[in-house]
Amino acid sequence: MKLINKYKSPNYNSRKFHKIKFIIIHYTALANCNEAITHLCKADNKVSCHYLISQNGQIYSLVDEKKRAWHAGFSYWDSITDINSCSIGIEIDYSNNKNNRKFTNKIINSLKNLLYYLKKKYKIDEKNILGHSDIAPYRKIDPGKNFPWKNLHLSKLVFMPKNINKKVSSNIINWFKSHGFKSKKTISIFILMYIGYDILPIFYNKNLYKNLILSYQSHFNQKNISGKLDIHTFNKLVEHFLSLLLTKMKKNLLKH
Ligand SMILES: [Zn+2]
């Protein structure tokens, strides 16, 4: 894997804890790679990332992996709030409405190589490779609804819920209902929390539930991006919950 070390960003500090657990994927929302390099390397902007991938698949190393690059901002996953201290941030030269509005094969191939290298080096769990919108669902939408999560999953790099037998799903739903979960919405909020999402803000502002569902859909259910808890999204969430439970059980069994 070839890295370009020509440009460096001053926007970093020391990690507060040193174990790297997450990889966070972003897009720049800028017109091209040169603009992105300028933006990410300018001290006044106070933003950066470890790696930037250009439209033609070149990988720029902007911040040393040992350092805490400033890419995640105010964020949350599974009770962790200082994501910058325990993650590697990857920016992709991509914007929804400019000439760079494609996740080209060159980008995807380079990203796969980079993910493979980082996963192996830091023993990162596939469930901890996330989008910026997963860890900041009320502020951010990158890497967006066109980002090829499924393609990365087929290369065994990221987690996707397994399809689960309908009967098993309906048993789980009945279990929730008999344990005080009155509606599908309540079940969905519980599952989203279980997955790792920050659910607290929706108790202060009900309108934010839509953002949370949109974030979930743009990562795990891209065929159905509505911001609504439709039946497909609900079923996907139940499958997701079960997949996580089964993975946990399997891990525990293997430990003994
Ligand atoms: Zn971002």
162-191 per-position pLDDT tens digit: 988 889 989 999 999 999 999 999 999 999
Query: How open is the CA angle 115-37-43, to the nearest 5 degrees?
Result: 110
Query: Which of 126, 154, 182 finishes a domain?
Result: 154
- The CATH number of the domain holding residue 79 is 3.40.80.10
83: CA distance to ligand 1 center in Å? 12
pLDDT, position 165: 87
Query: Are 142 and 16 found together in one domain?
Result: yes
The rounded distance, in Å, linking the Cα atoms of 71 and 74 is 10
The encoded tokens of residue 129 equal 């490779």
Query: Are 8 and 116 found together in one domain?
Result: yes
In a domain, 174, yes or no: yes
The rounded distance, in Å, linking the Cα atoms of 217 and 215 is 5
pLDDT, position 256: 65
71: CA distance to ligand 1 center in Å? 7
Amino acid at 190: F
pTM, two decimals, is 0.96
If you average pLDDT over residues 145-159, what whole number do you get?
A: 98
Beta-ladder partners of 59 = 3, 53
22: CA distance to ligand 1 center in Å? 14
123: CA distance to ligand 1 center in Å? 23
The one-character DSSP state at 17 is: S
Query: Are 15 and 117 found together in one domain?
Result: yes
Burial of 120 from C-beta contacts in 10 A (0-12 / 13-18 / 19+)? exposed
Identify which of 54, 49, 145 has the alpha carbon closest to the alpha carbon of residue 96.
145
Query: Are 23 and 96 found together in one domain?
Result: yes
If you average pLDDT over residues 185-207, what whole number do you get?
A: 97
Query: Are 27 and 146 found together in one domain?
Result: yes
The rounded distance, in Å, linking the Cα atoms of 103 and 107 is 6
In a domain, 71, yes or no: yes
Q: Catalytic residue positions?
A: 91
If you average pLDDT over residues 127-141, what whole number do you get?
A: 98
Query: Are 109 and 225 found together in one domain?
Result: no
Beta-ladder partners of 13 = 68
The encoded tokens of residue 239 equal 């499958």
20: CA distance to ligand 1 center in Å? 18
Query: Are 209 and 141 found together in one domain?
Result: no
Q: How many domains does the structure of the chain reveal?
A: 2
pLDDT at 92 over 70: yes
Query: Are 213 and 134 found together in one domain?
Result: no
The rounded distance, in Å, linking the Cα atoms of 93 and 89 is 13
Residues with CB under 5 A from ligand 1 (ion): 26, 132, 142
Q: Distances from the Cα of 75 to the Cαs of 103, 212, 224, in angstroms?
A: 25, 13, 25
Q: Distances from the Cα of 15 to the Cαs of 54, 136, 213, in angstroms?
A: 26, 20, 31
pLDDT at 232 over 80: yes
Identify which of 196, 54, 65 has the alpha carbon closest to the alpha carbon of residue 128.
196
pLDDT, position 253: 76
Mean pLDDT of all residues in the chain? 96
Contact 88, 65 (CB under 8 A): yes
26: CA distance to ligand 1 center in Å? 4
If you average pLDDT over residues 36-41, what whole number do you get?
A: 98
Q: What is the edge-to-edge ordering of all strands in the sheet holding 3-4?
A: 3-4, 59-61, 51-53, 87-92, 22-27, 129-131
pLDDT at 59 over 70: yes
The one-character DSSP state at 179 is: T
11: CA distance to ligand 1 center in Å? 15
Query: Which of 123, 154, 185 finishes a domain?
Result: 154
Query: Are 8 and 101 found together in one domain?
Result: yes
pLDDT at 126 over 70: yes
Residue 111: CB atoms within 10 A of its CB come to 24
Phi, psi at 3, each rounded to 5°: -110, 145
Query: Are 130 and 196 found together in one domain?
Result: no
The encoded tokens of residue 91 equal 């920016």
Query: Which of 129, 154, 179 finishes a domain?
Result: 154
Contact 56, 104 (CB under 8 A): yes
178: CA distance to ligand 1 center in Å? 40
129: CA distance to ligand 1 center in Å? 14
Domain membership of residue 25 as a residue range: 3-154
Range with lowest mean pLDDT among 55-59, 108-112, 250-254 = 250-254
pLDDT, position 164: 87
